[in-house]
Amino acid sequence: MTDQSWAKHVADVLRRNDIRLYPTVPDFIVSHVLDELGADPECRVITTTREEEAVGLLSGAWLAGHRGALLMQNSGLGNCTNALASLNVASLVPLVLVMSQRGDLGEFNPAQVPMGRALTRLLEALGIRWIRPTSIAELEQQADGLIKLCYVSGQPVAIVLPTELTGGKKG
């Protein structure tokens, strides 16, 4: 059985790393994290129409001195790949991606499977360091270091939230 406090732990790791801006193209899974962040008066959640819009918003916020994270479903990575590659990776603009993983274990929608299969290879092709914690203990052990690496290196990083951690989306 999945520990339902995972969303609070994700929100906590983001907040303790001074991340306060959260543009999102929400889905069911990341909405649990967004509920935690939206309840915090120091955090700002902004719904965007597309993931690359959120990449632009976060990149501008970084240049103005603010930290943020894009919360989305992993299929959104396909939508914002060019923006990440040509802006963030090429110009050393750090960005934290938090993605629910669809298309993997227990997936009920066949349309989600191709991106689920391509996710880690796409991240690696872009040079984006990523973690895929399957437990709260792994999340706590890895996430702070990953976020620190993001801001020291000036490169995007990704926290992939697998079904083993979140319980996934039921069909």
pTM attached to this predicted model: 0.96
- Give the residue ranges of the chain where pLDDT is below 50: 1
pLDDT for res 97:
98
3-state secondary structure 124-154: HHCCCEEECCCCHHHHHHHHHHHHHHHHHHC
Tokens standing for 11? 């929100």
Identify the structural domains of the chain with CATH numbers, from first to last. 6-166 (3.40.50.970)
Q: Return phi, psi of residue 84, to 5°.
A: -65, -45
What confidence tens digit (pLDDT) does each residue in 118-143 have?
999 999 999 999 999 999 999 999 99
Question: Are the C-beta atoms of 101 and 119 separated by less than 8 Å?
Answer: yes
pLDDT for res 109:
87
Instruction: Give residues with Cβ within 8 angstroms of 31, minimum separation 6.
Output: none
Is 96 exposed, middle or buried, given 0-12, 13-18 or 19+ CB atoms closer than 10 A?
buried
